[in-house]
Structure formats: C-alpha cells, structure tokens
Structure 1
Amino acid sequence: MNHGILASLACDPHHSRGRRFPEDSCGNRGPRTVFQRDRDRIIHSVAFRRLRHKTQVFIAPDGDHFRVRLTHSLEVAQIGRTVARALGLNEDLTEALCLAHDIGHPPFGHAGEDVMHRIMANAGGFDHNAHCLHILAQLESPYPGFDGLNLSWEMLEGLAKHNGPVRSPNWALAAIDAAFPLELGQWPSLEAQIAALADDIAYDNHDMDDGLRAGLISLEELAEVPFVAANLARIRQRLPDLGRDRLIAELVRDQIGLMVNDLIETTIQQVTDAGVTSADEVRAAGRMLAGFSDEMAKAERSLKSFLYQRLYRHKDVMAVSERAAGALDELFRAYLAHPERMPSEWVATLPTSEPARTRHICDFMAGMTDRYALSRYRDWIGPIDMPAGV
C-alpha cells in the first residue's frame, strides 16, 4: 500500500486560507508552518493546561493512573497523527485538532455540560464544541494585537465541523462564523474527520481500560461484546499464560491497532470511490469520507453501547456525577446572584445587559477545573461528600 496515497487531499500549510488577523512573520520564533504554530499555540495555552484537572470518566480522580481530559487528548493526538502519516495527510493539523478538541468541556464532564446548558437555556444554551471555539477565538488572549489565539481557518473549521456540517450553530459559534466564515454547511477536511475518529478509538479503548482498572467492569462482562470476545480469544491462544494486567494491556493495544488499520484501509477505499482530488473537493463531497468498514463500525458501536450501559451509567459513577452536577448547579446560580465574587479581572469586564451578562459568568464557570469548582463550593456554600478516586 502506498502510505502517501491521499497526499493530494491534505491541507497544505503553504496555501492556508490564513488567519482572521494578519500577523507579521517573526523570524526569531522558529521556522514553523501555520499548522505547526496552531499546534504550539494550543500546547502553550492556559486552557490546554486546565485539562489535567477535568473529568474524562471519573470526577476528580485521586488515582494517578486514571485518565483525565489532558491525557486523553494526548492519546487522541498520537492515534490521529499515526493515521494522518499513513494516509499522507497533514500531521501537524491533525495533531493540533486532536489536542484542542476537548478544550471547551466544563468541569465534571457531560454531567457538568448538562447543568451549563440547562441554566443557559434563556441565554442561548451551552455546547462544549462551540465553547471550544469561543475560548480559542476570543477568551484565551495572550497576544497584544488581537483577542483569541488567531488560529488558522483550517484549524477553526476543523474544530467547528469535525463531526460534520453544522446546520444550527449556537450563539458562540455563530458569532465566530460571522466574523471569519467557516463554511459550516460543508464537511471538513480529512484531517478533521480523522481527528474525530481518533477520538472514538481512544476513548472506546482507554475508557474500557480505566473501567477495568477501577473494577467497575470485568473482563467476563466485556466478553459479552463479540468484538472484545474475539480479540480476547486470539490473545489467549497466542499467549495462554499471560497475567490479567498484561492481558488487558495487550487487548487495548490490539483493539486500537485493528481499528486504526481498518480506518486507514476504509478511508482509502471511500476516497477512491468518491473520486475527489483536492481538499476543497473533500469539503464539497456531501458526505464523510473517512470512516470504518461496516463490520468495524458495528463492532465499535457495540463496544460504545456496552460502555454507556455498564461504565458511564454505573451506579457508582452516576452517584458521584449527580452530586457534582448538583454542586455545579448551586455554584453557577450563586455566581449569577453574586457575580462580584468572581476574580477581579472577570468582574471588571462583566456586561450589564442580558444575555451577555449570563454568558460572561458561564464563560468563567466553564473554565473551572473539577477541583477548583469543588474548592469554591466548599469555601462558599458548604461541605460536599465526594468519594476520593471513584
């Protein structure tokens, strides 16, 4: 197989559609392409650093070996870059998209997002993907000449549309699109499509690993999933004396490898069938061109379904999530009533009219890490019973 077969479809940094705000070339900052600069701006951002204390599966885990949003993002980037290299796509753009994709998550994962959306109902709602763009295009502002990180058009459109065209953007994404149109009705680049699937591969397998490590699911239960059962059988046949911990590690590696190889082969076939010859034709193709085979897609859905039923909705996980969500709800409403308790820099820029006032407080709340939110709750409202390292 020619591993550079899709190179003509890659986003070319030398033909980028540019940045919203033109920048002078700074020769003293190294010979980097526009997509390499995007990646580095993400890595050096405060928002990226905060991911180390944001929920992946377990809220505020004390266990050093459980994943958080930061480690998950790094694992997604490794998978995404591997696939991009095999296909001849732009590795730097793919990596940057993978690293940034979860930056918009509030504290306490999806439970926290539900709270934010509910309280923001009369102010335009809350969506973590749109908030990711809001952070990167406006809130994170370390540069003297403009707000935001001033990322490339390809980076912003990939983050906005990595799950496909956006027909009804919320207020945050609509504002960004109005200022720097991202062609929201079209599909994104192949790099963005690969980043989305790398996310699925990573969290399917690594959440499974964390669930096993926490003792919330067992290998015997996992064997109810045909895809997992077949992989376990092959490993046990090949390595009959392997201990449990190494068996699990081998299972995770094997499944990631199978899914990655399937993604590469299927994407090549689907792109070939579509007859596209450029990145712009990929966007105009009218459908997603990266993907799994029908068999692998079915296997992936079955594993995801198992994890939702047995891990994400496990009674112990749900109990902590509900407690955390209740605390976040109280804390958000307390800040709405007393915004003067926000840090001084947030108070100084608090709008006086709605919905801008509520959205400003939401921006502050969404930036909180799990542990900061719990700390503010305990300092201001009262004790909260949160088991350590669930």
Structure 2
Amino acid sequence: MLEAAPNDATDVGMTAGRARYAADPAQSRGREFGEPGGGVRGPRSAFQRDRDRVIHSIAFRRMKHKAQVFVAPYGDHYRTRLTHSLEVAQVGRVIARSLGLDEDLTEALCLAHDIGHAPFGHAGEDALDAALAAHGGFDHNAHTLRVLMRLESPYCTHDGLNLSWEMLEGLAKHNGPVAEGPLPWALEELDRAFPFDLARWPSLEAQVAAVADDIAYDNHDIEDGLRAGFIDLDQLLAIDFIADQWRAIESRFPRTPRDRLQRELVRGQIGWMVNDVIAETKGRIADAGIETAHDVRRADRALSGFSRGVQLAERRLKRFMYDNVYYHPAQKRTAQLAVDLLQRLHAAYASDPALLPDDWRAALPDAEPGRARHVADFIAGMTDRYAIQQYTRLFGPPPEELSNV
C-alpha cells in the first residue's frame, strides 16, 4: 500500500542497515521477571518474542470484537480494534525500515497499543472511568500495561507476558514523557514495580508507533465514515489539501468508478503522510545530533513526527472527523447507551459478586479499591458482544442501537 522512501545505508547514524540510534534487542534492559536461560527459545530476538507473545495472547484475539469507531456496525467491513492495530503495524514497519529502526519492536508496540481498550471504544473508557471515580478512575493506556503485565498470565512462573523493558516503556510513554501531575493508579503501581523512566522520551520505535497510529486512524476512519453515510465526498472535498489530491487522482484515473477513486484517495493520503514523517524524522535526528538510543531518550523533544505543514493539515482533518464522525449525533447517542450499559453492569457485579464467573469471583479482593478495580478489569476485558450478552442475561435486551454487535 505504501511507497517507502529508500533506506539509504549512508544516512546519518546508519550502520549496515541498522541505525546506531535504533533499539538493540541484544542491549535490552531485560524483563521484570527472570526466565530460565534468559528466555531464549530458538533464533528470535527479545523484541521478536515480545511481538509473538502479544499475538498469541487472548487479549489480542479479543480485539477482533471490540469497536474501533462504530459501536454497533451493520456490516462486516468496518474496522475493529484488531484490524486497526494490524494496519498501524503495517504503517509502523514501513517507517521503521526506512529509518533503520528495529522493525520487530515497532510492530510489537503497534499491535499492543490498544489492547487495554474497554468494549465500545472510548465510550467504554468513559463508563469505567465514571464507575471508578472514587477508586482512581480508568485509563485505557495504563490498562494496556496492566493487561500485559498482570492480567494476561499464560505462564506458570509469573504474572503477565513479561515483556521487555523497551516494549513496556514505549507503551507507558505512548504520547511522550509522563513527567507532570498525578499518574493513573495502574501506571503508578506498575512503574513502582518496574520503573519506566517516565520523565524521558521513549525509543524512536515507540515514537514511530505513535505517529503510525495517527496516520492509520486519520485515514481509515474516513473510509468507515463514508461507508456509514456520516460524511460524503463533497464534505471531504471542502478541505483544500484533500481536494487537491482528489483532482490529481481523477486526472490519473479518468472514467474510474467513484468507490475506487475514494480508496485511492485514502491510499494517497497515507503515502503522503508516511513519506513526510520519514523525511521529517531524518531531519530532526540530524539537527539534534542523535547518534545513539541513549541520545534519543535524552532529547528535549519528539524526534519522529509530521513536518509543520503536514501537522497543520492533519489537525484540520482530525477536527473534521470529530465534528462529522466521532461526534455525529447518531454516534453520540450510541455512545451514551454504551456508557449506560457498562455502568449498569459494573454496579450489578459490584453489589452482587455472585454474578461474576467463578474464577473472577474467587479472585475478588476483600476490600476497596481492589474490589471495584477487579470488577472493572473483568468488564474492560469484555468484547462488545460479550458485554451485550451479559447485559441481556441480567437486565433483558439492550436498546436497538446496541443489538447488532
């Protein structure tokens, strides 16, 4: 899909195809829990094992039934958290390869970045945050770490997937350093157990994963918004840089059906943003004199991102999507129904733990805030359809807008 800029081994900081400022799995700071033989099983690097542990996890599989944008889609072609994460990983690998970064770490971060989302997307996060208002709230980024470090536990010797420090710090500093204000309780607990060096920038691989997320959802949500009828092409073409690209596509592909032109538009937008990030990141690395991975973390700003012009265009596109898709009246109504559903579920389980499955009831802490957080852990792990099944079991059928998940 994407046309990457050439990977020039003579670029600043490059040695035999790998940049000296790339994360090096052989120099990893290790894992929270020691593993026999250093955890080595076959030829995989530490970051390859991270990626594979994520892919084989139950939490990763559940994302196929968690909403990306549309809570109750009527068709099979809308994106879910899983398909979105796969698309982010593809974009991230293209950028990482062009910059000489570790592709496996980049891919692992992209695949795992949304694993802490509750059912129903951001509506689910709002519901659990309100339900836990007296117990520290709920933050999906912090919950991603909680899932990977404590809740997803397939091993006999320790809790969690026991991922590398570089993987976990990249997720913890998803949007850059976390240096001011109180931390989400889950992040604070995990940082105390396995410190993430929160005041510094994360690896370039983590920075690339973050911008790949923006590129993927900015453009793929357009496609889903068009499919849902929340926006139409004429609205999109009121944005000048999109109109310019549309005219160029029409000129290149005359007499081509409009649906194909629309997909070409999305592909072109992605390629434009990817190539801009590659060029801008190379320029920032050179300007800052970055030579090592240590230099990346000590930098005083993000080293990977959009150029100023593309950043302004991307912000305009985001505002358009918020105004016309994410905050569309139908979306707002469905989101509120989802919030109400999950809050009722949390209240029911909290007041009567006998409603919980046997294994979750057996592990219920004796006191607060552990009890409320435990219930929230259970609900956050639900898929959209499982949440609706449980609601139906306890309260009867949900509103029609939520009945097609």
Common fold: TM-score over 0.5: yes
The 8 Å contact of residues 227 and 303 in structure 1, kept in 2 or not, is answered as no
Mapping for residues 36-115 of structure 1, pairs under 5 Å: 36-115=48-127
The 8 Å contact of residues 58 and 389 in structure 1, kept in 2 or not, is answered as no
Further displaced range: 348-357 or 27-36:
27-36
In the TM superposition, residue 389 of structure 1 has moved relative to its aligned partner by 5.7
- Return the match for 1:353 from 354, 362, 367: 367
Q: Tell me the residue number matched to 1:128.
A: 140
Judging changes above 3 Å, is the alpha-carbon distance between structure 1 residues 330 and 84 closer, same or farther for their aligned structure 2 residues?
Answer: same
Further displaced range: 274-283 or 28-37:
28-37
In the TM superposition, residue 27 of structure 1 has moved relative to its aligned partner by 8.8
In 1, the alpha carbon distance for the partners of 2:72 and 2:230 equals 17
In the TM superposition, residue 283 of structure 1 has moved relative to its aligned partner by 0.7
Q: Tell me the residue number matched to 1:14.
A: 26
In the TM superposition, residue 285 of structure 1 has moved relative to its aligned partner by 0.4
Q: Tell me the residue number matched to 1:381.
A: 395
Q: Tell me the residue number matched to 1:138.
A: 150
Mapping for residues 153-164 of structure 1, pairs under 5 Å: 153-164=165-176
In the TM superposition, residue 3 of structure 1 has moved relative to its aligned partner by 3.4
In the TM superposition, residue 213 of structure 1 has moved relative to its aligned partner by 1.2
In 1, the alpha carbon distance for the partners of 2:385 and 2:266 equals 29
Deviations 1:51-71 (A, max 9, x none): 001010111324111100000
Query: Given residue 106 of structure 2, which amino acid in structure 1 is its aligned partner?
Result: T
In the TM superposition, residue 96 of structure 1 has moved relative to its aligned partner by 0.0
In the TM superposition, residue 240 of structure 1 has moved relative to its aligned partner by 2.3
Query: Given residue 357 of structure 1, which amino acid in structure 2 is its aligned partner?
Result: R
Q: Tell me the residue number matched to 1:330.
A: 344
Deviations 1:238-262 (A, max 9, x none): 2121211101110011000000000
In 1, the alpha carbon distance for the partners of 2:400 and 2:169 equals 39
Deviations 1:111-134 (A, max 9, x none): 111111111111111100000000
In the TM superposition, residue 2 of structure 1 has moved relative to its aligned partner by 4.8
5+ long unaligned stretches in structure 1: none
Deviations 1:253-297 (A, max 9, x none): 100000000000000001111111111110110211101111100
Deviations 1:325-345 (A, max 9, x none): 111111111111112211111
Further displaced range: 237-246 or 20-29:
20-29
Deviations 1:20-69 (A, max 9, x none): 11112389942100000000000000000000010101113241111000
Judging changes above 3 Å, is the alpha-carbon distance between structure 1 residues 290 and 27 closer, same or farther for their aligned structure 2 residues?
Answer: closer
Mapping for residues 164-183 of structure 1, pairs under 5 Å: 164-167=176-179, 168-183=182-197
Matched-pair identity in %: 58
Query: Given residue 246 of structure 1, which amino acid in structure 2 is its aligned partner?
Result: R
In 2, the alpha carbon distance for the partners of 1:62 and 1:322 equals 19
Further displaced range: 129-138 or 318-327:
318-327
The 8 Å contact of residues 23 and 203 in structure 2, kept in 1 or not, is answered as yes
In 2, the alpha carbon distance for the partners of 1:265 and 1:69 equals 29
The 8 Å contact of residues 53 and 60 in structure 1, kept in 2 or not, is answered as no
- Return the match for 1:301 from 296, 315, 318: 315
The 8 Å contact of residues 200 and 298 in structure 2, kept in 1 or not, is answered as yes
Q: Tell me the residue number matched to 1:204.
A: 218
The 8 Å contact of residues 137 and 184 in structure 2, kept in 1 or not, is answered as yes
The 8 Å contact of residues 54 and 60 in structure 1, kept in 2 or not, is answered as no
CA RMSD in angstroms, aligned pairs only: 1.4
In the TM superposition, residue 224 of structure 1 has moved relative to its aligned partner by 1.6
In 2, the alpha carbon distance for the partners of 1:2 and 1:372 equals 45
Query: Given residue 147 of structure 1, which amino acid in structure 2 is its aligned partner?
Result: D
In the TM superposition, residue 214 of structure 1 has moved relative to its aligned partner by 1.4
Q: Secondary structure at the match of 1:155?
A: helix
Further displaced range: 65-74 or 235-244:
235-244
Q: Secondary structure at the match of 1:130?
A: helix
TM-score relative to the length of structure 1: 0.97
In 2, the alpha carbon distance for the partners of 1:122 and 1:286 equals 36
TM-score relative to the length of structure 2: 0.94
Q: How many residues align?
A: 390
Instruction: Tell whether 2:306 aligns with 1:292.
Output: yes
5+ long unaligned stretches in structure 2: 1-5, 14-18
The 8 Å contact of residues 106 and 366 in structure 1, kept in 2 or not, is answered as yes
In 1, the alpha carbon distance for the partners of 2:39 and 2:285 equals 38
Instruction: Tell whether 2:376 aligns with 1:371.
Output: no
In 1, the alpha carbon distance for the partners of 2:374 and 2:44 equals 35
Query: Given residue 60 of structure 2, which amino acid in structure 1 is its aligned partner?
Result: F
In 2, the alpha carbon distance for the partners of 1:180 and 1:258 equals 39
Judging changes above 3 Å, is the alpha-carbon distance between structure 1 residues 27 and 268 closer, same or farther for their aligned structure 2 residues?
Answer: closer
The 8 Å contact of residues 7 and 97 in structure 2, kept in 1 or not, is answered as no
In 1, the alpha carbon distance for the partners of 2:400 and 2:120 equals 12
Q: Secondary structure at the match of 2:336?
A: helix
The 8 Å contact of residues 226 and 299 in structure 1, kept in 2 or not, is answered as no
Judging changes above 3 Å, is the alpha-carbon distance between structure 1 residues 351 and 10 closer, same or farther for their aligned structure 2 residues?
Answer: same
In the TM superposition, residue 227 of structure 1 has moved relative to its aligned partner by 2.1
Mapping for residues 262-273 of structure 1, pairs under 5 Å: 262-273=276-287
Further displaced range: 18-27 or 330-339:
18-27
Deviations 1:74-108 (A, max 9, x none): 00000000100010000000000000000000011
Query: Given residue 86 of structure 1, which amino acid in structure 2 is its aligned partner?
Result: S
Instruction: Tell whether 2:288 aligns with 1:274.
Output: yes
